[in-house]
Structure 1
């Protein structure tokens, strides 16, 4: 009886409250609007949770090491889409195997997301070797890189055409203008390059901080060969493109002979690269200051000779000739430094 009485009293109170609200149209409509807005917000929140949680999010599977056909089937089951955006040729793997993917396995993505993969080619692509004899070394290098080829070795021979390609060789055979020789993409060719004896010097560019391909390109452009290439532990054929040079056997901004070889060390450790890069820049500045000081000393000596001032009565024309030649070589090296700095800027 008491419960019934309380319910009746509660119902009467609610009814009285509604009656009072209805008696005041402004308040009634305000409360009604607030109630509708709150209901819409609650409904939207519930629907959003249902949409985002019910079948919309997927965990990306690991497709690496899987044949592309099987990977596409796996992706379809997960409501994902496989897109092949690159291919490499790695002899250690079968053709058609997925080598890399983006996003990586374990990532949370929405259904329908595209997964970009790199697959292993069934065979390396064959490309025709361009005939680059008669071109400057820089032009020849660029033409080979566009064709997907490298420089295997630079061999310098005495000739008045310094840094111009005299001949192109593939597997020991010299190419002719009409030659139609094809080799696998990524392979290298030998270039025989001219050099005058007085111009047999170059400046070592900075390879630290660069990828292997960029470092090679910079060294070739300065007339230098690639020595040993050393990789830190953990670097493989798949992540090699992410590695950066942290050490080079010949210092940046130091002098070298055309054709000298520069060995490289690569790592995935960004801190190691940054630390060594800063040290390399500091040392390069010191070398530049030393070179400028030596140039000034040579100029002063030559001026004294030309003015007839000598600390040695036995000063010979040969000494004067030597000083002049040294100044010419110094000027050439300065031009190479400026060219190297310009190339590194771009």
Structure 2
């Protein structure tokens, strides 16, 4: 016991110094956690994020940098609503409170999507419509003309040349060949057909639609052809017109 007491007395100052060192280190750690680290991370210095949507990229960049933020383009998307290089979305959201120096990710408009017009001359009407649809386009008006080169039922012309670029959902008109022009034309039977179907059949036959009159016939579906002026199966000259009588509901006659 005597030797133990002497050893404790001898090393007492050393223990005091060790405890003091530990206390100082712990104090420094607390100081670093509460003072130095907040300064480094800018903890507690949050700012309201401005709204940069619907701004150009240049305007958005300038505003964010002036307010102490960074800007990163995350992606571009086709958007017909906004011009190209306009900010359409931002993350974090506008007016949220974030730290200074925070990166703001934006999505830019790539403008309207342009598609290349396909070549449909030489295709059937159905194939042409399918090809246009596959390219993001619409089939517009369909015209029928006699053609010495293209066979009957084949597209002989298109309203916009192939390989040009247009916006999506643009309508492309086509002309379909009726084959070689005959000397005489057979009158088709369109009675009982809808008016739209009758119109197509008459035009495909190389004839014209004459006057159209409407009558109330409750036994027929509205817009049904119930009479035609030229007898079906008869031969007539090119360009002859067929007058039609079409059924309507009584209320539709006044529209």
Q: TM-score, normalised by structure 2?
A: 0.41
Higher fraction of strand? 2
Structure with larger RCO (C-alpha < 8 A, sep 6+) = 2
Q: TM-score, normalised by structure 1?
A: 0.32
Higher fraction of helix? 1
Which one has the largest radius of gyration?
2
